[in-house]
Amino acid sequence: MLFRSKQSGTNTVAVVERVKRRLEEIRAALPADVEVQVIRDQSRFIENSIQEVKVHLLLAAVLVSLTILLFMRDWRTTLIATLSIPTSMIATFAFMDACGFTINNITMLGLILAIGIVVDDAVVVHENIFRHMEEDGLPARVAAATATAEIALAVVATTLSLLVIFIPVIFMGGRVGRFFSSFGYVVAFSILMSMLISFTMTPALCSRFLRAGDGHAASKGGPVWRAVSGSYMAALRFALRHRWLVVAASVAVFASTPFLMRVVGKDFVPRDDTSEFEVVVTLPEGTSLERADALLCEVEGRLRGVRGVEKTFIVIGDSTGRAARAQGEVTRASIYCRLVDLGRREYSQFDSMQDARRILADYPDLRAAVQDVAAISASGFRQVMVDLNLRGPDMERLQEYSQRITDWMRSQGSYVDVDTSLSFRKPEVRVVPNRERASDLGVSVQAISATTNVLVGGLPVTTYKEADQQYDVWLRADLGYRDDPADIARLGVPSSKPGAGVVELGNVADFEEAQGPSTIERFSRQRQVVVSANLEGKALGEGVDELAAFVRTLDLPADYRWEFIGQAKNLNDTMANFVVAFGLAFLFMYMILAAQFESLVHPITILLALPLTIPCAILSLILLRTNLDIYAMFGLFMLFGIVKKNGILQVDYTNVLRARGMPRDEAILEANAVRLRPILMTTVMLVAAMIPMALGEGPGAASRAGMAKVILGGQVLSLLLTLLLTPVAYSLWDDLTRSVFGLAGRREGTATSPAVPG
């Protein structure tokens, strides 16, 4: 059996392909009775997942194009706007190659999101050109120049403020930052390309190929659009007449955030069906290699009967993961199980894992865990979801506390594969010096310790080199003189008493047979015990919170401490990093908008709608039965960018109309009526791009679904409220500014209407 791992910085798929080609060359030279099989291959899941993402990418592009056609009802417009997708994608691929990024799940996820974004700026510019031709009757060339200049400020503001959202992602620290920095780079570059295309290719193509007439006037004349537009304008008039009702509703929605955050499940990363799992086994101490091999072969034979399992292999004495400190221990082993591909079965990998747990229940002497195969590290021991580090001065009390914790976890039902790193199952002989007799015979305790340490435990004394290999030479008593307490008692101990010579160890020490730990772990100079488990039917965040609450009830002494490590610690660190990233994103967005609008008030008006997207996004996860994980967190970033874009379009055109002399409330109504179509178009396009990911069931679908569902559900649930809150906030801030500063009107000299037009 041969194991190979790729070097750091190399590509998994490329390495596997080279290995397979070399195997084909070797296979031709092998004897007929020698067969070579590839059992575990990480590239299988990667390639299948990438193929699934490619399908999602194509479906997203098609759905976005159909959305443009649905709203504009013109094939030239649809074609011109859709061309921005491949143009931006090609440039982004060139950027990825220059930066050394590979096509992987993270970068492809960024590309799928970019499809819903890169077309936004082009659509906004294109729609404005289309509107000027449709409503004002301008020629294509004049409309392209006029409309692009009119909306340029809004496009630049939306692009730059969306770009700064991903700056914290690019520079995010920790493990999440290392994996998702490429995601931030890819999306950020595609956003820049979308702005460049919207100011160059889009108006150029519109000036050449758009035609007046040809049914353009009918694009807003359909009964569906009239119903949508009429309903929104009626709701907006009502909102402007009852502004504080909208404010109260918005505050109530935002106030629900803490409650929804407690209800939603929290995970570090979602569990994907990778068509493989492994069984990690710790056998009783003292088990020989022959016995371990026989027992594991028996377990392997039964695991081959689990539904879906097509190939298995056993590793005894694995030195990866936690077992690295005990290389070669035959009491530690793992059984890798490979399932048939996901498309060829109707049940999940997790159903097969439950079947495997039922089999292992028939072997009570084995400490076994059925777990996912780690996607990042190599096959190892105890790649579990919950790791509780318990440390203190007394090993026996640590065992007592850990036993109480594991008993409670097993009683809950949702904690599986419960185990601890401490086990008093190793048979040992304890040498207890008889100090009185040792003193009479002139034997020191140090002499007893040194003798047993050298003759029983062994001690490296020199090295031996042969050819290019160097070996350690150990000094130790022959096995026949140290494998029985009676033989150990006959070992000689030097005496310092004149004439005493060498004293038998049995004359100065007593022997006790006992059970002891195989290893004693330490952390921060204290002895530690790690309690570990996997979770079934419960999110990681919920499981950690419940376990932490139980540990607090133990009232541990002050010199005993506990903390979560592993995935639970990564989850807490990730949440903290995201809070910082969200704060920086808000700050950067405010600075960009303040510079663009040359106002300290308008950015507040635009950003007020963003907090409302958080409870709506969390509610969508709850309704869709999806946990809040790192992918969903990145979906929140995207959601903020889209909602903020809507506010910029609303506020910018309101300012344009007021600068032309229109009263404030009339300008608000007119601006929102004009910008409703591009807002709905960009929203529906992004939702359409997310549908394939949200509904996907192929390899890697669980990782992508969280992000897609956050954007899809959050945008749909928050759309109407944010469309109403931004104009209401605009009018309230305008009133507040005039009352505080005593202004009769805006600096532009515009008039204000005393009431909302009917």
> How do residues 633-678 score in pLDDT, each as one tens digit?
878 877 887 788 888 888 888 888 888 888 888 999 998 888 888 8
Q: For 17-21, 110-114, 124-128, 279-283, which range has the lowest pLDDT when averaged over its residues?
A: 110-114
Which residue shows structure tokens 């150029």? 204
97-116 pLDDT tens trace: 888 887 777 787 777 777 76
pLDDT at 682 over 70: yes
Amino acid at 513: E
In the numeric block, which tokens belong to residue 434?
Answer: 């008889």
Given a cut of 50, whether residue 157 has pLDDT beyond it is: yes
Instruction: Give the per-residue pLDDT at 744.
Output: 42
Question: Among 136-145, 289-298, 315-324, which is the least confidently predicted range?
Answer: 315-324
What per-residue confidence (pLDDT) applies to 424?
A: 59
**Cα dist. 239→109, 602, 645, 729 in Å?**
38, 19, 21, 11
How far is residue 460's CA from residue 453's CA, in Å, rounded to a whole number?
A: 11
> Lowest-confidence range among 87-91, 123-127, 174-178, 643-647?
174-178
- Indicate the SS3 state at residue 306: coil
Mean pLDDT of the chain: 80
User: Does the pLDDT value for residue 2 go beyond 60?
Assistant: no
Contacts of 485 (CB under 8 A, 6+ apart): 429, 511, 513
For the record, the structure tokens of 195 come out as 């702005």
3-state secondary structure of 65: helix
Supply the pLDDT for residue 47.
75
Closest among 117, 121, 120, 114 to 57, alpha carbons compared: 114
Residue type, 341: D
Residue 600 DSSP one-character state: S
CA separation for the pair 447, 460 (Å, rounded): 18
92 sits in which H/E element: helix 84-99
What does the alpha-carbon distance between residue 455 and residue 451 come to, in Å, rounded to a whole number?
6
Report pLDDT digits (tens) over 300-347.
999 998 998 888 888 887 544 443 433 446 788 889 898 988 878 888
Please give the structure tokens belonging to residue 530: 């790690």
Q: What pLDDT is stored for residue 139 in this prediction?
A: 83
Token pair in block for residue 477: 């008593």
Residue of 243, 403, 149, 89 whose CA lies nearest to 756: 243
pLDDT at 434 over 80: yes
Q: How far apart are CA 164 and CA 646, in angstroms?
A: 17
Q: What is the share, in percent, of the chain residues with pLDDT greater than 70? A: 88
Res. 756 pLDDT band, cuts 50 70 90: very low
The per-residue b/e assignment along 646-670, b for 16 or more CB within 10 angstroms, e otherwise, is bbbbbbbbbbbbbeeebbbbbbbbb
For residue 202, what pLDDT band results from cuts at 50, 70 and 90?
confident
Would you call 495 helix, strand, or coil by DSSP?
Answer: coil
**Number of other CB atoms surrounding residue 644 within 10 Å:** 27
Tokens 């440039």 -> residue: 91
Model confidence at 519, pLDDT cuts 50, 70, 90, reads: low
Q: Are strands 509-516 and 426-433 parallel, antiparallel or unpaired?
A: antiparallel
Interior angle at CA 319, CA 313 and CA 323, nearest 5: 105
Interhelix angle 75-82/42-72, nearest 10 degrees: 150
Instruction: Supply the pLDDT for residue 180.
Output: 75
8 confidence band (pLDDT: 50, 70, 90): low
Local structure of 135: helix, strand or coil: helix
In this prediction, residue 381 has a pLDDT band, given cuts at 50, 70 and 90, of very low
Top pLDDT among 16 and 239 is at: 239
One-character DSSP codes across 519-588:
--EEETTEEEEEEEEEESSS-HHHHHHHHHHHHHHT---TT-EEEEETHHHHHHHHHHHHHHHHHHHHHH
pLDDT value at 3 more than 60: no
| Interval 247-272: pLDDT, tens | 999 899 999 989 998 888 888 777 77
Residues 550-565 have pLDDT tens digits of 988 888 888 888 888 8
* Predicted confidence (pLDDT) per residue in 348-358, tens digit: 888 899 899 89
Assess whether pLDDT exceeds 50 at residue 757: no
